């Protein structure tokens, strides 16, 4: 099941496009801004592939300082990205990871959660050594409030039914956000237990 509200995405690339389109519509990030962020992420992740595919290297163009090449590259790349967003051209698989990273944090989290949910997974990050569990906990508390609100709307009549179809995507999205933050904190605690030689508690499913 997918929860993308923009375009009711049914395929993986449509999920990616739906979140980008919704972000552009709801935030201050414009399509040109997203296109430039995407190009930067592509060069950060796969510079050889990006160069071979004709993705403009805006950092290099800025160093040169010539206006005409920069403007031409921007216009050409913007048209290409716009065709992906409009669905006129399928989004290439090698662009997917950079596409997600180019999204604003809130939309990136939603997109990752939805993509993971399509495989029955939770989009949780590994906090590792650099991650901040206090920040993750703060995000969990924030997401809990959203989940309670969204679920309360659905359960106002004491059940989940076809009548709730318009608000179910928001409820699912909010619950996925809670699951992912909870999973991050659980993994961090399990890692410490494992490093200390303690047995990790058995997980209860259901």
pLDDT tens figures, 60-96: 877 766 667 667 878 889 999 999 999 999 999 999 9
Check residue 128 and give its pLDDT.
46
Average pLDDT over residues 152-162: 89
Answer whether residue 60 is part of any domain. Answer: yes
Average pLDDT over residues 138-163: 84
Question: At which of 88, 117, 146 does a domain end?
Answer: 117
Query: Which residue range(s) make up the domain with 183?
Result: 133-195
Q: Are residues 18 and 108 in the same domain?
A: yes
pTM (2 decimals)? 0.61
Q: Are residues 45 and 113 in the same domain?
A: yes
Check residue 101 and give its pLDDT.
92
Q: Are residues 137 and 61 in the same domain?
A: no
Check residue 192 and give its pLDDT.
80
As a three-state string, the secondary structure of the chain is CCCCCCCCCCCHHHHHHHHHHHHHHHCCCCHHHHHHHHHHHHHHHCHHHHHHCCCCCHHHHHHHCCHHHHHHHHHHHHHHHHHHHHCCCCCCHHHHHHHHHHCCHHHHHHHHHHHHHCCCCCCCCCCCCCCCHHHHHHHHHHHHHHHHHHHHHHHHHCCCCHHHCCCHHHHHHHHHHHHHHHHHHHHHHHHHHHHCCCCCCCCCCC
Based on the structure, what is the number of domains in the chain? Answer: 2
Check residue 69 and give its pLDDT.
67
């Amino acid at each position: 099941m997918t929860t993308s509200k923009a375009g009711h995405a049914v395929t993986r690339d449509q999920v990616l496009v739906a979140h980008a389109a919704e972000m552009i519509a709801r935030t201050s990030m414009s399509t040109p801004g997203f296109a430039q962020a995407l190009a930067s992420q592509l060069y950060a992740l796969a510079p050889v592939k990006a160069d071979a595919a004709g993705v403009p290297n805006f950092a290099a163009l800025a160093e040169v300082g010539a206006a005409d090449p920069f403007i031409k590259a921007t216009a050409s790349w913007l048209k290409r990205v716009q065709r992906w967003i409009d669905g006129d051209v399928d989004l290439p698989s090698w662009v997917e990871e950079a596409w997600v990273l180019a999204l604003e944090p809130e939309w990136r989290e939603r997109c990752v959660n939805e993509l993971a949910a399509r495989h029955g997974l939770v989009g949780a990050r590994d906090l590792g050594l650099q991650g901040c569990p206090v920040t993750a906990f703060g995000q969990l508390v924030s997401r809990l409030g959203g989940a309670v609100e969204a679920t309360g709307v659905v359960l106002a009549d004491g059940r989940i039914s076809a009548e709730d179809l318009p608000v179910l995507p928001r409820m699912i999205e909010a619950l996925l956000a809670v699951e992912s933050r909870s999973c991050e904190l659980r993994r961090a605690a399990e890692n410490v237990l494992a490093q200390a030689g303690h047995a990790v508690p058995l997980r209860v499913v259901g």
